[in-house]
Amino acid sequence: MQSGMTWLKDYMATAKSGELAAPPSAWWIVTRACNLKCYYCFADARKRDPDELDTAGAKAVLDDFADSGVMFVTFLGGEPLTRKDIYELVDYSTDLGIYTALLTNGLNVRPEKIDKLVDGGLEMIGVSIDSKDDAVHDAVRGVAGSLAGAKGTIRHAIQRGLRTSVRIVVSEDSYPAIPDLFRWAIDEGVEELILLPIFMVGRAAGGAEDRRADLVGKQLFLSTLERLRDIGEPLGITVPQQTRLACPQGIELRAPDHELHHAGHAVGFEQSAGCKVGRFMVSVQPNGDVFSCPFVHAKVGSLREQSIVDIWQAPLLRKARAEDMGCLARSIIHTGRADVTDPTYVRPAAEMLAELPLPGTAPAPAPVAEQPFFPVDGLSLASHRARAVTSPTRS
Amino acid sequence: MRETMTVAEAVAELRDMLAASGGNPTIADRLARGSLSVLYEFENPDGTIEPYLMRVRRDLREVAPGAVSYDEADIVIRTEPLTLHRLSNGELGGREAIVSGRLDIRKAPSMPKLLFMRSLFNSYKKHRLRTEADAQTTPGSAAEAAP
């Protein structure tokens, strides 16, 4: 590592030890309004919350972040571009010196919208894709033409010099084609691929098999990381490995000999490995409430009433800093509580699966080579649709 | 894209950046509430170092020749003038500059101070891009008049 990077390594190490006054990063659901209907949406995004922070309120939060040392803000949703003031917020955030990113689904994102984001100083844009196949992606997303929009957004963003990431949720629908998507992203010049497991929270929650879906989904995610490692290795791409946590994982797609390879990424991945709760990030809800992570739906404070510095000392975050608890989203899924150790972190999945009663009387289908899992309610669009039929109160 | 730059030109850009920040209400607000002291150690091609101190606070915005001890500065940066120019006009990202070794942060800032410094650079970069865009779209400008 070059001598000039030492401070960054020190900073990340301090963050990992939980000694920073404020989180380095905030994931901010600026709106729950969305033009897609993804069955696994962790935010259960559909329409705008009535108590969503207005422009002035959002700017006040950004002021607090800058004064407190929050270095990265990622605007997401819902679809953040449905907010008319999003360009103003990006401009304001970057004026404050905050590294600002935005996640979009790419639907109806005309080039002019990306140009406005670039003009506002946006530094990275992430686009969610489920498959290279229009039929699969559009079915999962619930709107025809959404894959074309996502690809077009990525291409124009790259043309404009924006850093880009492709975000893939590992589901039964996406699993088979993720290697193809990985290669496609490399060929397009995408900088980073973010792999995410499905968490049985938000719209994904509420099925009869949430705990089973979580366990199998976790295996599916870990298996995908291994597959990508095998593909990436001959290309010089390092795919970080996980064995127990299954936390969303960034993969830098530019090999070390690429002129735009960023060693800073390596420092970030290495130092932030493990659960980021209480050390690296918080999640902000549309109304200013703060969760410990986008997938851990447990409020730890409100930015309408408190500074992020005060919220950063919330009991749950202090506990997470002091103990190695695994994934708190899985703590909630399996125990109903965020402040206890994730059982999937300390027990073998096979042992836990064996304890869970199978729904109905039919035996589980045997895994096959291409899909080393058996269909589970919650991990595919088909199962979610079946759920809606049998439970008409859900939408 | 420029290939060379003198220390004097780099310092002129820093002064231009501070002047431009006054027209940005977000930055002006930050300037009123905070302070920043950055020691630049410019490397000449012959290896000599030319130190300049940038000081920013409510009643003072200046870049002056001379050094202070590292303890007295919020941030200490050693770099070539051309690297600073490329950073301020957006040709080079801060991360790339650091990773390539062209920007050596010799004293790390607190994160709020680093954000303060980034705010000046970000604002200046946008100011320049918008000024250039305006020049290209203004009727009668050189860009429009060109065949």
Amino acid in the structure at residue A27:
W
* pLDDT at res. A377: 83
A312 CB within 8 Å of a chain B CB: no
Q: Do A262 and B96 touch (CB under 8 A)?
A: yes
User: H or E stretch including A297?
Assistant: strand A296-302
A56 CB within 8 Å of a chain B CB: no
* Phi, psi angle pair for A189, to nearest 5°: 90, 20
- Angle separating helix axes A111-119 and A86-95, nearest 10 degrees: 30
Cis, bond preceding A78 (omega within 30 deg of 0): yes
Question: Which residue is associated with the tokens 């003009």?
Answer: A119
* pLDDT at res. A367: 53
Structure tokens at A207: 């099925």
Which DSSP letter does residue B108 get?
P
Average pLDDT, chain A: 90
Number of H helices, E strands in chain B: 6, 5
A136 exposure class (CB count in 10 Å sphere: 0-12, 13-18, 19+): middle
B84 CB within 8 Å of a chain A CB: no
Between A190 and B133, residue with greater pLDDT: A190
* Phi, psi angle pair for A164, to nearest 5°: -130, 150
Whole-number Å distance between alpha carbons of B48 and A283: 47
Structure tokens at A188: 């397009």
**What are residue A291's DSSP bridge partners?**
A283, A299
Asked whether the predicted pLDDT for residue A258 surpasses 90, the reply is no
pLDDT tens for residues B91-108?
887 777 777 778 888 998
For the B7-127 domain, the top CATH level (class) is alpha beta
Asked whether the predicted pLDDT for residue A253 surpasses 60, the reply is yes
Structure tokens at A291: 């969760």
Helix (H, G, I), strand (E, B) or coil at B69: coil
Contacts of B69 (CB under 8 A, 6+ apart): none
Helix (H, G, I), strand (E, B) or coil at A377: coil
**What are residue A282's DSSP bridge partners?**
A26
Chain B residues within 8 A of A98 when measuring between CB atoms: 115, 118
Asked whether the predicted pLDDT for residue B126 surpasses 80, the reply is yes
What's the complex ipTM? Answer: 0.86
A287 CB within 8 Å of a chain B CB: no
CA nearest A343: which of A351, A334, A355? A334
| Prediction pTM value | 0.91
**Contact yes or no for A293/A329 (Cβ under 8 A):** yes
Question: Which residue is associated with the tokens 């109160």?
Answer: A393
Q: Where are the domains of chain B?
A: 7-127
CA nearest B79: which of B39, B41, B48, B37? B41
Q: Which band of pLDDT confidence, cut at 50, 70 and 90, is reported for residue A363? A: low
A3 CB within 8 Å of a chain B CB: yes
Structure tokens at A38: 């993804």
Tell which B residues from 11 to 50 touch A, by Cβ distance under 8 Å.
24, 26-27, 30, 33
Share above pLDDT 90 across residues of chain A, in percent, rounded to a whole number: 72
